[in-house]
Amino acid sequence: MARVLGPKGLRGGLRIELLTDWPERLTRGAEIWLDGDPVARTIEATETGGKVPIVYLSGVASRDDAARLIGRYLEGSAHALGEGEYYWDDLVGLRAESPEGTPLGELVEVFRAGGNEVYRIVGPGGERLVPALRSAVERIDLAEGVIVIAADDAEEVR
């Protein structure tokens, strides 16, 4: 959901970089986890309106406590997705094919470029960047482990 950038103030505030499409989940009373910690923490307060959001977590009471968390990730419970929506982690590793079944490679990365997501596919023919659009992606089947890329909609990068 977010990455800790650094401390804010003396009371343990955390300056964060948002990494979620649902920032409204970072509200007072919400439970989140620091990456690798088995115990949830509660958001005690938030501040918005500045350059970056600030959260105050239970168990983080001083600037020193906050400084020890720089670079850590704040994680939340999984958000329910709608039909045709996927978590990026679920897509990485999918086998990429043409509509005819010709292997194109493996989806190795998903990233944002402007307002769109882009799939980076690496295979024997090199690297391809495919926009995450219905016109460019015919089908995604997580159970089968495949993503079918429409013809002529991938840009080869050399």
Please report the pLDDT score of residue 155 as a whole number: 52
Amino acid of residue 156: E
pLDDT at 8 over 90: yes
Percent of the chain with pLDDT over 90: 68
Q: Based on C-alpha coordinates, what's the Rg of the chain? A: 20
β-pairing verdict for 95-97 and 73-75: unpaired
pLDDT at 53 over 90: yes
Locate tokens 């923490």: which residue?
A: 41
Q: Where in the chain are the domains?
A: 2-75, 88-157
Structure-block tokens of residue 153: 């909609």
Cα 10 from Cα 8, distance rounded (Å): 7
- Is the model's pTM score more than 0.75? no
With contact defined as beta carbons under 8 Å apart, do 38 and 13 qualify? no
Please report the pLDDT score of residue 43 as a whole number: 95
Averaged pLDDT, 114-119: 88
| C-alpha of 117 from chain center | 11
Instruction: Return the CATH class of domain 2-75.
Output: mainly beta
SS3 of residue 91 by DSSP: helix
Averaged pLDDT, 101-124: 92
The CATH code of domain 88-157 reads: 2.30.30.240
